[in-house]
Amino acid sequence: MPAGLSILLASSNSGKVREYRELAGDANIEIELLPGFGEIPQFPEDAPTFAENAAGKAEYYSRHTSRVLLADDSGLVVPALGGAPGVHSARYAGPNADDSDRVRKLLHEMEIFEEDRRRAKFVCVTAIARRGRAFIITSDSADGLLAKEPRGAGGFGYDPIFFLPEIGKTFAEASREAKNQLSHRGKAFRKALAYLADPASLAWIE
C-alpha cells in the first residue's frame, strides 16, 4: 500500500464515508469526502449497469481534483421483480423520496411473493480514478432475502429489509463488524485495497 495514500470519495453521504473508513481498517490510507461535491454538476448515472455508472462517476469527478478518487454504484437486485430496483435503487420511489419511501414501495411490490421468491442480492462496483481515468474497478455482491417488514435501526437504504440467513439478521440489525465483513461494499472495496497494495499501482497514482 502506498504510504499515506489519501483518497477522496465522490459522495456527500457521511454514513458512506464512515463505512469506507471502517472498511479500510489498518490500511495506511485516508478517506475523505470530495470537497464541494454538492456544487459540482451531478453525474447522471443513467447507464444500464453498475459498472458503467461507477466507472463513469469516478472518471467524471476525478477531473475536479488532482487526488485519487473513489466512486461506487450499488443497488438491490430482486429476481422476482425482473432485477428491479437494480441501478435505479436510489431513485426507485421517485427523485424526492427518502429511504423509508423506497423500502415501503419495495415491500408493497413484494407482498404477493412467498419466501422462496423473496431472494435478493446487493451489488456494489467500486472504481478508483485519477485525472479522468479509472484504473481500478472491482465488484462483489451479498445474497439474502427480503424481510416482510423493516428490522433494526442501523445502516441505511434497504438495509432494514435485507435479511442474511447466515447470521439471522438484517443488515440494519447486524453489528458494524458483521455488516462490513459480509456486505457487497465491503467485499468490493477489499478487492480494491488488494490492488492498491500492488506496487504496480504506483505508476497510476503518482
Catalytic residues: 73
- Nearest to residue 56, comparing CAs of 40, 71, 35? 71
Q: Which of the 8 DSSP states describes residue 65?
A: -
Q: How many CB atoms lie within 10 A of CB 5?
A: 18
In sequence order, what DSSP letters do the residues of 135-190 get, joined into one string? EEEEEEEEEEEE-SS---SSSSTTGGGEEETTTTEETTTS-HHHHHHHSHHHHHHH
Q: How far apart are CA 64 and CA 66, in angstroms?
A: 7
Please check whether residue 7 is in contact with residue 69, taking contact to mean a CB–CB distance below 8 angstroms. Answer: yes
13 phi, psi to nearest 5 deg: -85, 110
Q: Give me the residue label for grid cell 454538476.
A: 41
Q: Are 150 and 157 in contact (CB under 8 A)?
A: no
The CA distance from 10 to 30, in Å, is 14
